[in-house]
Each structure stands twice: as structure tokens, then as C-alpha cells.
Amino acid sequence: MIEVLNKMPRLGVAVAGLGRIGRLHAEIIKVWVKDAELVAVVDVIESLAKSVGESFNVKWYTNYDKALQDPRVDAVVIAAPTFLHKDMIVKAAEAGKHVFVEKPLTVTSEEAMEVKQAVEKHRVKLQVGYNRRFDYAYSKAKKDIEEGVIGKPLAYLAVARDPDAPPGWVADPKLSGGIFLDQLSHDFDMARWLMRDEIIEVHVVGGAYIHESVKEKGDLDVVSIVFKFANGAQGFIHGTRKFPYGYELRTEVFGDKGVIYVGTNRDELYARGTKDGLTYFGAPWFVKRFYDAYVNELTSFTKAVLEDKEPECTVIDGLRAVQIAEACWRSVKEGRPARVILNP
């Protein structure tokens, strides 16, 4: 006797915003996430929407509202500019669509609270794209910390250096949240996740030392952040918008019985040796470094929706990153430590 097994339905996904990250998400859903189906792409630039849609052989839209009316769309991946996130998420929730939103969640905590209320009211899932949670090295660090390998975690340290100042709308902190939200919120999320505690106070020293364009926009390009956790542990993050040989991302967690290191400032897979010595080159840029993490986070989101489980990076996680970034800006403006307003 042959039994016919019922297959779990695939999640119909539309990707909204087709810049570099949006196209990457579309590719991953199309190729790698077996329980999801890319059914549509959206961008306000018609030529871009058309070319990406045709390349993936899916429906394309220039109107986000119309895409949300598509009955094949169960969920939307929002990879549009940060200042558009709040309205796009609320519209998706009102349409009954689940949401995966690229980090950061929103520009302000007030917007994040509106998002929280909308997804709770309409009972849709929301996952924020802090992809380092899904990276093999950071996941291993998390496991070792939780199993007590390094004892009690006492300090979180991170270095995050991007190749150069961001272009376009990202350069305006009023639209992107600036260096704290656009760049370093990844590290805020990692600090909370690895240390299993809330950041309650930050003290920032920084300035616009490198790029005149950054200074003109009111952003910073070199910052150092000392912070405290609720349990008394401490943290330090150094971030820059310039790095001479590409990209540097390193993290340490120090415990009373050991220390964990994640990341490197060089490409460990290639070196060149000559009579002048051994030469290493810069670490790969984030898309290559975290490609598998992008696959894993979208796979996790799909599973959360299909199995009706809480996403692994929730709206509260996104809200906390925004609140920490806001405290950093207060510290800069007031020239002193600032409390993180954890509400709710």
C-alpha cells in the first residue's frame, strides 16, 4: 500500500526593496530556502523591479500596496531604506502578511513601538535581520557561553570597521540612524544575545575625524562606546566608517574561566610568501563573510511562520537596538553617560 504524504505548504514571499541586500534576499529565497517560494519582487524603480522580476521569473511590482494584495504573498521581506520601515511593516501587518525586516527595525523607538503594536494587533510574525545570530562562529560562541565553558561572562568587546562612509540616504543620520543604528546596532544585538542581559547605560566618545561629508550630515565616523549591563558586566565597542584594507569585525567575550574570540582582521584562507615576508590580505566584505547566515536567518523565519513559532530575533530585540542607539546619541550630545530607556 502506497501512502500519499501531505506536504507542508511553502511560504509565498515577496521582497520589497531591491538594492544590494534586497536582491541578495531574493536570490537566497529563490535558491536556498526550500520551504519558501519567491512569488514577487517590489521596487519603486520600474526598470529595477522589471529586471529583477524577470531574472527570477516572478511577478514584479512598483506599487507596494498592490503587492500586499497579491493572494500568493504570505510574507514580505522588507529591504527598503530604514526610514520607510515603519509604514511598510504596519501596512503588511494590516494586510495579514508576516514580516522579515532588514535591520535596523526603525529609525526611532517611537516608530518601533508602533510596529510592535501593529504586529501584535494583527497577529503576524516579525523577525529582524540581525544575521550574526545565525552565523556559525557566533552561534558556537553562544552555545559555549550557555554551557559555561568560559564561566561567568564579565565583559563584551567588539571592533567594527567598515571600508568607508556610506552613500546616499544612509549617510543622513535622520534617515538611517547614523553610525550607531545603521552600523553598530549589529554589535548591540550581539552584546545582548551573547551576554544574555540588557545594556542599561552607555558612554560615548567620538567624532567626525575622517570624512567632511559625515560631519556635514551630523554623523560620526569614529566612536568608542563603554557600556554597562544590568547584571554588572561591562562592554566596549569601537566602530569606524573607514578602514585602510577593507573590513574588520572582531568580538570577544571574557569570562572568569576563559575567553571567546570571534572574527579576524585578515583573510585566513589566503596568504602570499616571498623574500619580503608573509603577506595576508583583508577580511572578506560582509556579504561573503555572512552569506550562510543570511540563508540561515531566512530559513529560520520561514520555519517560524510555517510552524507558528516565535521568530529567533523578535520585535523586542529590534526595539532594544534602537533604544541603545538613541542612548548613544544622547551621550554624544550631553557629553556624559546616558541611561538606556528600556520601555517596555
111-120 pLDDT, tens digit per residue, is 999 999 999 9
Give the dihedral sign, CA 111/113/116/118: negative
Strands 338-339 and 153-161: unpaired
For residue range 143-161, what is the model confidence (pLDDT) as tens digits?
Answer: 999 999 999 999 999 999 9
Top-confidence residue, 246 or 300: 300
pLDDT digits (tens, 9 = 90+) for 26-75: 999 999 999 999 999 999 999 999 999 999 999 999 999 999 999 999 99
Structure confidence by residue, pLDDT tens digits, 213-228: 999 999 999 999 999 9
- The domains found in the chain, sorted by start residue, are 11-132 (3.40.50.720), 133-285+316-339 (3.30.360.10)
Instruction: Assess whether pLDDT exceeds 60 at residue 3.
Output: no
Residue 4 has pLDDT above 60, yes or no: no
The sheet that has 36-42: what strands, in order across it? 59-61, 36-42, 11-16, 75-78, 98-102, 126-129
State the pTM of this model. 0.95
8: confidence class by pLDDT, cuts 50, 70, 90: low
| Residue range 298-309: mean pLDDT, rounded | 98
Task: Inform me whether the pLDDT recorded for 304 exceeds 70.
Answer: yes
Q: What are the start-end ranges of the H helices in the chain?
A: 20-31, 46-56, 64-68, 85-94, 109-121, 136-146, 173-176, 178, 185-195, 212-217, 286-289, 291-306, 315-334
Name the average pLDDT for the chain: 96
Q: Please, which pLDDT band fits residue 7 given cuts at 50, 70 and 90?
A: low
Q: CA–CA separation, 266 vs 247, rounded Å?
A: 8
> Would you tell me how many other CB atoms lie within 10 Å of the CB of residue 142?
18
Question: What pLDDT band is residue 1 in, cutting at 50, 70 and 90?
Answer: very low
pLDDT of residue 107: 98
